[in-house]
A and B are shown apart, each in its own frame.
Chain A
Amino acid sequence: MLLFIVMTSTAILFIPGLTALTAKQNAWLVSLGAGISSFGVLIISTKLAQRFPGLTIAEYLPLIVGKIGGKVLAVSYFLFFTVLNILVVRETSEFLTVSALFGTPGIPINLVFVLICWYSAQKGIEVIVRMNQFILPLFVFAYLMACILAIPKADPSSLLPILEDGISPVMQNIWIPVQWYGEIAVLLMLIPLMNKPQEVLRKASYAVISAMLLLTFGSLTVLTVLGADVAGQMIFPIWFTAKTIEYGNYIQRVELLALPLWLTGIMVKSSLLFYVTILAARQSVGRKHPKLIAASVMVIVFSGASFLIPNTMALLEFLTTYWPSVSLLFEVVLPLLLLAITLIRKKKGGCRQ
Chain B
Amino acid sequence: MFDQLITRIRSKNIGKENPLLDERSQAGEHLSSAIGHNRQALQQIFEKCSDISFREFQLHSTKKIKAFIVYSDSLCKPEIINDAILKPIMLEVSARKKDLQTKTDPSMNIGLSTDTHLAINAGDIPDIILQHLLTNYKADTLSLISEAADAVLEDNLVLIIDGYPIGIKASVQGYNIRQINEPTTEPNIRGPRDGFVENIGTNLSLLRRRIRTSRLKAENMTVGTLSKTKVNICYIQGVANEKVVTEVKSRIEKITIDNVLDSSYIEEFISDEPISLFPLVQYTERPDKAAASLFEGRIAIIVDNSPSVLIVPCTFIALIQASEDYYYSALFGSFARIGRFMAINIALLVPAITVAAFSINQALIPISLLNTVAGARESLPLPISMEIFLMELVFELLREAGVRLPRTVGQAVSTVGGLVIGQAAVDAGIVSPTSVVVVGLTAIASFTFPDYNVGTSIRIIRFSLIIMASVFGIVGIIFGLMILLTHLCSLRSFGVPYLSPIAPLTPQDLKDTVIRVPWWAMFTRPRFFGGKEPLRSDANQLKQKLKKRRNKK
B366 touches A130 (CB 8 A): no
- Evaluate contact between A116 and B366: CB separation under 8 angstroms: no
Chain A 194-227 interface mask (CB, 8 Å, partner B; 1/0): 0000000000000000000000000000000000
Type the 1/0 row for A97-110, where 1 means its CB is closer than 8 Å to any CB of B: 00011001000110
Contact B502 A264, beta carbon cutoff 8 Å: no
Q: Which one of A113, A131, A256 lies within 8 Å of B363 (CB-CB)?
A: A256
CA A96 to CA B478, docked complex, whole Å = 12
A249 vs B368: C-alpha distance when bound (angstroms) = 11
Question: 25 interchain pairs (CB within 8 A)?
Answer: A100-B475, A101-B472, A109-B472, A112-B472, A112-B479, A116-B479, A120-B482, A124-B490, A127-B486, A127-B489, A130-B489, A133-B502, A134-B489, A134-B502, A134-B503, A135-B485, A249-B366, A253-B366, A256-B361, A256-B474, A260-B474, A260-B477, A264-B478, A264-B482, A267-B478
* A116 contacts across to B, CB distance below 8 A: 479, 482-483, 486
**Closest CB in chain B relative to A209 CB, distance in Å:** 20
Q: Which of B485-500 contact A (CB under 8 A)?
A: 485-486, 489-490, 497, 499
* Cβ of A292 under 8 Å from chain B: no
Contact assessment for A127 and B490 in the assembled complex, using a CB-CB cutoff below 8 Å:
yes
Which range holds the interface residue count of chain A? 20 to 34
Interface SS majority for chain A = helix
Chain B nearest Cβ from A249, distance in angstroms: 7
Binding site for A on B (CB under 8 A): 360-361, 363-366, 472-475, 477-479, 481-483, 485-486, 489-490, 497, 499, 502-505
Residues of A within 8 A of B477 (CB): 260
Contact of B364 among A96, A108, A256, A263 (CB under 8 A): A256
Contact at B364–A257, with CB atoms within 8 Å?
Answer: yes
**Which chain A positions have C-beta within 8 A of B482?**
116, 120, 131, 264, 267
Q: How far is the CB of A222 from chain B (nearest CB, A)?
A: 20
Residues of A within 8 A of B473 (CB): 100-101
Q: Point out the residues of chain A lying under 8 angstroms from B361, CB to CB.
A: 100, 256
- A38 CB to closest chain B CB, in angstroms? 25
9 tightest CB-CB pairs across the interface, nearest first? Answer: A130-B503, A133-B503, A130-B489, A260-B478, A120-B486, A123-B490, A127-B490, A127-B489, A134-B503
Q: Which residues of B contact A120 (CB under 8 A)?
A: 482, 486
B489 lies within 8 A of A131 (CB): yes
- Beyond A133-B503, A134-B499, A134-B502, whether A101 also contacts B360 by CB under 8 A is yes
Residues from chain B with Cβ under 8 Å of A321 in the complex: none
Give every chain A residue within 8 A of B504 (Cβ-Cβ): 129-130, 133
Residue A252 interfacial (CB < 8 Å): yes
Contact indicator B503/A119 (Cβ below 8 Å): no
For residue B486, which residues in chain A have a CB less than 8 angstroms away from its CB?
116, 119-120, 123, 127, 131, 271
| Set of chain B residues within 8 Å of A130, measured between Cβ atoms | 489, 497, 499, 503-504
A316 to B449, CA, bound (A): 49
Known: A119-B486, A133-B505, A253-B363. 14 other contacts (CB 8 A): A100-B361, A101-B473, A104-B472, A116-B486, A124-B490, A129-B504, A130-B499, A131-B482, A134-B485, A135-B485, A252-B366, A263-B475, A263-B478, A264-B478
Q: A42 contacts the other chain (Cβ, under 8 Å)?
A: no
Other-chain residue from B365, B474, B499, B503 in contact with A259 (beta carbon distance below 8 A): B474
- The 0/1 profile, CB within 8 Å of B marked 1, for residues 251-292 of chain A is 011001101100110010001000000000000000000000
Q: Whole-angstrom distance between the alpha carbons of A323 and B389 in the complex?
A: 46
> Contacts A113-B479, A264-B482 hold; do A253 and B499 have CB atoms under 8 A apart?
no
| Residues of A with C-beta under 8 A to B490 | 123-124, 127
Chain A: minimal CB distance from B366 (Å): 7
* Contact among A100, A123, A132, A267 for B474, CB-based, below 8 A: A100
Q: How far is the CB of A291 from chain B (nearest CB, A)?
A: 17
Contact between chains at B483 and A119 (CB < 8 Å): yes
Whole-angstrom distance between the Cβ of A275 and the nearest chain B Cβ: 12
Contact between chains at B475 and A123 (CB < 8 Å): no
> For B502, what are the chain A residues with a Cβ–Cβ distance below 8 Å?
133-134
Most-contacted residue by chain A among B477, B478, B502 (CB, 10 A): B478
Distance in angstroms between the alpha carbons of A120 and B487 in the assembled complex: 8
A72 to B: closest C-beta gap in Å: 34
Task: Give min CB distance, A184 to chain B, whole Å.
Answer: 21
Residues in A125-144 with C-beta less than 8 Å from chain B? 127, 129-135
Q: Which of A108, A109, A127 has the most CB of B within 10 A?
A: A127
Q: Which residues of A contact B481 (CB under 8 A)?
A: 264
- Assembled-state Cα–Cα distance A129/B473 (Å): 27
Q: How far is B489's CA from A57's CA once the two chains are assembled, in angstroms?
A: 27
Instruction: Report how far A271 CA is from B474 CA in the complex, Å.
Output: 20
Cβ-defined contact, A260 with B365, below 8 A: no
Given A131-B485, A131-B486, also A260-B475 (CB < 8 A): yes
A92 to B489, CA, bound (A): 24
Minimum distance in angstroms from B478 CB to a CB of chain A: 4
Are A101 and B475 touching (Cβ within 8 A)? yes
Least CB distance, B468 to chain A, in whole angstroms: 9
Interface centre among A135, A256, A271 (most CB of B within 10 A): A256
Known A100-B475, A120-B482; contact A131-B364, beta-carbon cutoff 8 A = no
CA distance A252 to B370 in the complex (A): 14
Closest to B360 in A: A101
Q: How far is the CB of A196 from chain B (nearest CB, A)?
A: 14
How far in angstroms is the closest Cβ of chain A from B446? 22
Measured between beta carbons, the chain A residues less than 8 angstroms from B479 are 112-113, 116
Residues on B with C-beta less than 8 A from A104 are 472
Smallest CB–CB gap between B277 and chain A, Å?
A: 15
A249 contacts which chain B residues (CB < 8 A)? 366
Complexed CA–CA distance, A108 and B365 (Å): 26
List chain B residues, Cβ under 8 A from A259.
Answer: 474-475
